[in-house]
Amino acid sequence: MARVVIVGGGPSGLMAAEVLASAGHAVTVYEAMPTVGRKFLLAGKSGLNITHSEDHTRFLSRFQPSGDRLWPAVEAFPAAAVRAFALALGTETFIGSSGRVFPTVMKASPLLRAWLRRLEGQGVEILTRHRWTGFVDGGLRFDTPQGTKVVEADASLLALGGASWPRLGSDAAWVPWLRERGVDVADLRPANCGFDVAWSDLFRERFSGVPVKSVTAATDAGPIHGDFVVTQNGIEGSLVYAHAASLRDRLETEGVASLLLDLMPGRTLARLTQDLSKQGGKASLATRLRKGAGIDGVKAALLREFSSETERRDPQKLSRMIKAFALPVVRPRPIAEAISSAGGIGWGAIDDGYMLRALPGVFVAGEMIDWEAPTGGYLLTACFATGRASADGIARWLAR
């Protein structure tokens, strides 16, 4: 019986533990926090989006440019397998109107509790408050309530997450330790995040917390319909997260970026121009927008915030701005606030079994690897899938 150490008690680590324990290996999970699965539980507070029901080809396209490397793992554990996994733990799922898949109970805690009971029955040992602090000759070093401990194993898996929500355990402290050992690690960057916008004080005071509903937003990621929320600092919400990678990358390469919004996706440009032209020239902007375009509240304020009087007075310019409103963003919000992170261990640094080429016997999974995906169940599915793929890699390596 081989002894396997797993560092990190999130979805990737727990999934790997289950696969390896089922294969007869002695598995110990080391978790820095007082309990495992903290980010998993946080994700489930507003309804755990466990996977997505769209066709497999479309599903895989969400992980570009890493899709080719992730394909074998996700192919082996696709959305249907995720739903079957949840059902085996007593959690039924349903497909929402957007195609996203949720537990019927809309919570993560029942699933996690059942999963931990099953792992315990398989003999998996979980040690909490054991924080990994790097490599030492012959093993891994941990800070524990009883002091420093060095652990040796036949194989080890690092499943420590990225750098988002560090208070839940993913603090990226591992980056320098792997770089020191010759592992290529790209700088971690925020993904699925909000963005700062240079609001005026008046706009910020009046509209912070107000949702902007039923708009279509476009970047390099293409047009997507949905809602977002104005914040004290800028914008956030699922529609913003869907475009976050494109906005972030453009800011990094060009220094400027805008989220292009169609504020009235149900009305054509020609119709808007016609209706706005009928409004009296002496009418206020609020009146012209309300009567000619059906726009008021935060949408009208956005137009006023980023336009000139000349643009607002010209029906053609105003209608074009409504259909293609460029909302300039300044910078992504800090990575600690992001839902997930981009960057991490380069694909060239790991083999097909998810083992680090520079550290034989050490494997990695989950958000430590340099891939990203939008929200919608893709993140969690890939974490499950890479956890299983790394466990399979460990089993093959041990067998050799």
3-state secondary structure of 210: coil
- Residue 234 pLDDT grade (very low, low, confident, very high; cuts 50, 70, 90): very high
pLDDT of res. 58: 87
* DSSP assignments along 307-340, one per residue: --HHHHH-HHHHHHHHHSEEEEE-EEPPGGGSSE
Using the CB atoms, write b or e for 387-397: b if 16+ within 10 Å. bbbbbbbbbeb
Residue 189 pairs with which residues in a beta bridge? 342
Interval 88-101 mean pLDDT? 93
Per-residue pLDDT at 64 exceeds 90: no
Burial of 57 (0-12, 13-18, 19+ CB in 10 A): exposed
Residue 9 confidence (pLDDT): 97
Average pLDDT over every residue of 324-336: 97
Tell me the angle at which helices 269-277 and 285-293 cross, rounded to the nearest 10 degrees: 130
Find tokens 């009418």 and name the residue.
Answer: 283
pLDDT at residue 129 in the model: 98
The whole-number average pLDDT for the span 272-292 is 87
Residue 110's pLDDT is what? Answer: 93
30: left (phi over 0), alpha (psi -120 to 50) or beta: beta
Strand ranges (E), the chain? 3-7, 26-30, 51-52, 93-95, 100-103, 125-127, 131-136, 139-144, 147-151, 155-158, 185-191, 195-196, 211-219, 222-230, 234-236, 257-262, 325-329, 331-332, 340-345, 362-364
Contacts of 168 (CB under 8 A, 6+ apart): 33, 38, 39, 42
Task: Name the least confident of 37-46, 235-244, 260-269.
Answer: 37-46
Residue type, 367: E
Single-letter code of the amino acid located at 312: R
Residues 315-325: pLDDT tens digits?
A: 999 999 999 99
pLDDT for the residue 106: 86
Confidence of residue 224 (pLDDT cuts 50, 70, 90): very high
Least confident of 44-48, 67-71, 340-344, 349-353: 44-48
Share of the chain above pLDDT 70, in %: 99
Cα(53)–Cα(58) distance, integer angstroms: 10
Burial of 246 (0-12, 13-18, 19+ CB in 10 A): middle
Q: Confirm if 370 and 342 have CB atoms less than 8 A apart.
A: yes
SS3 content of the chain, % helix, strand, coil (to 5): 40, 25, 35
326 forms beta bridges with 260
This prediction's pTM: 0.92
Give all domains of the chain, ordered by start, each with its CATH number.
3-191+337-399 (3.50.50.60), 195-332 (no CATH)
- The answer to whether residue 107 scores a pLDDT higher than 90 is no
Specify the pLDDT at position 221: 78
Which percentage of the chain shows pLDDT scores above 90? 83
Alpha helices in 7-63 (DSSP H): 11-22, 38-43, 56-61
Do residues 161 and 169 make contact, with C-beta atoms less than 8 angstroms apart? yes
Give the β-pairing of 26-30 and 125-127. parallel
Q: How far apart are CA 391 and CA 11, in angstroms?
A: 13
* Contact (CB, 8 A) for 76 and 389: yes
Give me the chain's average pLDDT, please: 94
Q: Which residue has the higher pLDDT, 279 or 355?
A: 355
Confidence of residue 42 (pLDDT cuts 50, 70, 90): confident
